[in-house]
Chains A and B, each alone.
Chain A
């Protein structure tokens, strides 16, 4: 219907709805007027008043039916019927309050678990970037020959930026890094999270600074020239108490002076799922921040540290952008064969990026599936209860059918009942889901043992709420349909005679059998899955930490942050180890690049095991490694099973040595791993 039409009809519908009595009265009055005229006419034609009245009524062709027809014309009876059904349902549910409470709690648990786990998946995959028109923001990634994703180097970024035509701006950012921040130059620095971004970053994303300005293009052109910084919203609030005079102030970052030029609004917590940068610096200031010390950030094409994103031009298709970048990647390969051999590039949407870059979402999906299984069991449970309740109402239903209620109308009534149950369950479920999400949040400090601004992104937002409501409606149908269908198929004669009939035959039991089978199957699956998960965790807890966890303290440093050169760094660690060793209460000490079970990834390493039959298509294998000193195995309580650990004599000039773990030895040298 056209909107112009609604202008007339909506007020009419509203009037029928809210001035119901008035409308009814007018209907009666109108018909009364007609009948009176008709009777007058009859009398004038010589009929007796009684006959005239009778004739008038006959001409109406059933007065009450006509009235019903006229009411139907108001087109609101679907709503008034629903309200009547709802009123009736609430009354009858209140009568069986114990059962109602049980059903609501059952559904609430199912829906609550599902919405809580869905909030995880939502945060990890679906939640759009916090920028205007987020769907236009694409990720450009470099791909290696085994189709792993990689970042781009600064030089590559500049080339992409100048040679692509599909985008309204190409931006780049480095990873969020630990930065030594001091509110005033000279004050003791504290570790905060900063992110280097390209000069057009905020402009292309459409983020308007809440205070001051974003970066200008020219502030990101000459390495080391413009020491400017834009603050993140939370950081500004907590570190500077939302003081607007912060603009123009000088702060220390990694020992260098930076001028604050702007503050990002609350609506932009950053583009990362977990991290929310405390401040942003231009890429041109890269020398002040932790980049690969062996490489030249601005020159080396294989110093790949930048994530590149771009905003697709309106009217350009994703496929065009993909083709364009593929050609560019081929040019890179032929122009710079040394660093770009077997390298491609790909354009990903936000969904593709989130599902490819980080695999945590798979756990979220598993949890959602498990929670849905719980909800399914809850629904079958509730369906069983409703079914037995419907059996107790056989007579009521038989009476309704006998006095002319249509089966469809009765099914609607019964479904309204389960809809109300499910809505209550849904509301309670949302409360439970909210509680679970809050409970997740309480692990914040356990999960992120760091000073960097990471947080758990799960929350109950509008999208999760809508999903929960949709789920409630679905479960209403799921747990209400079977009982409604079955209980309206009553044998009227028997139904009217006794309150509880059980018609012999298979048909009647069909629904219940399906319910029981589904319930047992789903429960079994859930039990198996949770048993396996618990066993898995137990195994991990028992075996995983095969090092002495007690009386072990850990501290990490990054001397690069204060511009130490490699020699100074080496000296620093040597002194540190010596001093710790003689500290009272210290039994032993060790240096390691990474700690076991830490949040940082171990470095990867390619290796060729001696005497191992290599598969035809491989030149080497990949694994992870850690760089440690001679005290490591003793301090961590890791036993050396064969051979020796490292010694102080294993220096850079000594023959090169490595230690492998038991798993490695058993796999690559089976049968002879004890003869090392």
Chain B
């Protein structure tokens, strides 16, 4: 099970980009933040987090830098690139459009 089944394909990428956009963060902090903001609704296993991060890095959307973490251990901090920001904005717009359309339809059925 490498991909979180309850996340729409490609959404994890968007979430990760959004989180990293706020400030440069290491993998551990990203996993904590994911849990914290989405509660238990979005279950992202530690296992699928790192391949996704590496994919984003290899695409050139985020870039990594080794820096001391809060407890002075060396950690890999990810931050958003210019290219990543463009991609994120595009994806976010797509997502809003899609989710708006879907919730619209869902509400129609209720009425």
The chain A residues found within 8 Å of chain B, CB to CB, are 4-5, 7-9, 12-13, 26, 29-31, 33-34, 36-38, 56, 59-62, 65-66, 69-70, 72-75
Contact = CB atoms under 8 A, between A and B. Distances in A.
A36 B76 CA distance: 14
Interface stretch (B16-24, B45-53, B103-111): B45-53
B81 A59 contact: no
A2 to B, nearest CB: 9
Interface stretch (B7-15, B55-63, B90-98): B55-63
B54 A74 contact: yes
B60 A12 contact: yes
B47 A60 contact: yes
B60 A9 contact: yes
A34 B54 contact: no
B31 A69 contact: no
A69 B51 contact: yes
B59 A9 contact: yes
B47 A75 contact: no
A37 B76 contact: no
B75 A33 contact: yes
A75 B45 contact: no
Given A4-B83, A59-B45, A30 B50 contact: yes
Contacts of B46: 34, 38, 56, 59-61
Nearest to B49: A34
Contacts of B5: none
Nearest to B47: A61
A69 B2 contact: yes
B28 A34 contact: yes
Given A13-B58, A34-B31, A75-B58, 6 more contacts: A9-B58, A26-B66, A34-B46, A61-B48, A66-B50, A74-B58
B26 interface: yes
Nearest to A30: B76
B28 A12 contact: no
Contacts of B59: 5, 8-9
Interface residues of B, number: 26
A10 to B, nearest CB: 9
A70 B28 contact: no
A26 B47 CA distance: 17
A61 B54 contact: no
A54 to B, nearest CB: 14
A613 to B, nearest CB: 84
B88 to A, nearest CB: 15
Report whether over half of chain A's contact residues are helix, strand or loop; otherwise say mixed. Answer: helix
7 shortest interchain CB distances as A-B pairs: A8-B60, A61-B47, A69-B51, A73-B54, A37-B28, A59-B46, A73-B55
B9 to A, nearest CB: 16
A30 B45 contact: no
B74 to A, nearest CB: 7
B1 interface: yes
Kindly name the residue among B27, B58, B66 whose own CB sees the greatest number of chain A CB atoms within 10 A. Answer: B58
Contacts of B27: 30, 33-34
Contacts of A33: 26-28, 69, 73-76
A26 B31 CA distance: 19
Contact of A73 (B1, B51, B69): B51
A69 B50 CA distance: 9
A62 B28 contact: no
B57 A12 contact: yes
Contact of B81 (A8, A31, A62, A74): A8
A533 to B, nearest CB: 59
A65 to B, nearest CB: 8
B60 A5 contact: yes
B107 to A, nearest CB: 37
A8 B1 CA distance: 30
A21 to B, nearest CB: 16
B58 A29 contact: no
B83 A8 contact: yes
Nearest to B29: A37
Contacts of A5: 59-60, 83
Nearest to B59: A9
A62 B57 contact: no
Given A8-B83, A26-B76, A37-B28, A70 B51 contact: yes
A70 B48 CA distance: 10
Contacts of B60: 5, 7-9, 12
A37 B58 CA distance: 25
A55 to B, nearest CB: 10
Contact of A66 (B51, B57, B76): B51
Contacts of A30: 27, 50, 75-76
A274 B86 CA distance: 60
A7 B83 CA distance: 10
A66 B51 CA distance: 7
A165 B73 CA distance: 79
26 contacts: A4-B83, A8-B83, A9-B58, A12-B58, A12-B60, A26-B76, A29-B74, A30-B50, A30-B76, A31-B50, A33-B26, A33-B28, A33-B69, A33-B74, A34-B28, A36-B73, A38-B28, A60-B47, A61-B1, A62-B47, A66-B2, A66-B51, A73-B51, A73-B54, A73-B57, A74-B58
